[in-house]
A and B are shown apart, each in its own frame.
Chain A
Amino acid sequence: GESVGLHLPTLSVQEGDNSIINCAYSNSASDYFIWYKQESGKGPQFIIDIRSNMDKRQGQRVTVLLNKTVKHLSLQIAATQPGDSAVYFCAENMPPRNAGKSTFGDGTTLTVKP
């Protein structure tokens, strides 16, 4: 069936380096994508989103890239800090837009080494 998946379950980076978390989606009808961050024992938090009519969107220290040709989504975190250690989920939404029906990926655990 249709799914959103992540290439790597874990990622370890040195503090100060840039991090890249990848996500593959399989539903070509998806038109809205979201990245969430979940710290241990807490609920996920919205990080950044992107619509299918865009290729790139930047936030504070984060950038999301969308490649519709290969159905790939990535989250780039600049100058990774210890506070960035968490599990990151990508989610895709299909029209008609209903955020609750977001399909979540398995998650990538990011560990930042001091």
Chain B
Amino acid sequence: GAVVSQHPSWVICKSGTSVKIECRSLDFQATTMFWYRQFPKQSLMLMATSNEGSKATYEQGVEKDKFLINHASLTLSTLTVTSAHPEDSSFYICSATPDEKLFFGSGTQLSVL
């Protein structure tokens, strides 16, 4: 199957700092990538759809200025959590698809102190 790589796997940061998470499609081009947030023992919540060469589409209730998304190439999308606070601590997952089924990155555990 297709491979989606996500880095870093975990990050600890101080409150007020920004954190960047990268998502790469390794063996296919992805004009669209997706970012999810997942709390412990809960399902995936779609945050936004990243579109190559254009603005991301955010789901209702997701702050655009808090979660900056850039999709500069057909294989890379980045999610930047700006001015992170403890309530932003969560598991963030990206995905992309060469067809209809999603292939997910390994996730990034963000802990904001």
- Which residues of A are interface residues toward B (Cβ below 8 A)? 32, 34, 36, 41-46, 49, 89, 91, 93, 97, 99-102, 104-107, 109
- Which residues of B are interface residues toward A (Cβ below 8 A)? 1, 4, 6, 32, 34, 41-44, 46, 49, 91, 93, 95, 97, 99-107, 109
Given A89-B44, A100-B34, A104-B44, A43-B97 contact (CB < 8 Å): no
Q: Is the CB of A44 within 8 A of B42?
A: no
Q: Is the CB of A99 within 8 A of B46?
A: no
Given A43-B95, A100-B32, A100-B95, A49-B101 contact (CB < 8 Å): yes
Residue among B34, B43, B105, B109 making CB contact with A41, cutoff 8 Å = B109
Chain A, residue nearest B9 (CB):
A41
Q: Is the CB of A41 within 8 A of B107?
A: yes
Q: Is the CB of B95 within 8 A of A104?
A: no
Given A105-B43, A106-B42, A100-B97 contact (CB < 8 Å): yes
- Rounded to whole Å, the gap between the CB of A64 and the closest CB of chain B is 13
Q: Which of A100, A105, A106, A109 has the most CB of B within 10 A?
A: A100
Chain A, residue nearest B109 (CB):
A41
CA distance A43 to B107 in the complex (A): 5
CA distance A46 to B103 in the complex (A): 7
Q: Which of B4, B102, B107, B109 has the most CB of A within 10 A?
A: B102
Q: Is the CB of B104 within 8 A of A93?
A: no
Q: Is the CB of B100 within 8 A of A93?
A: yes
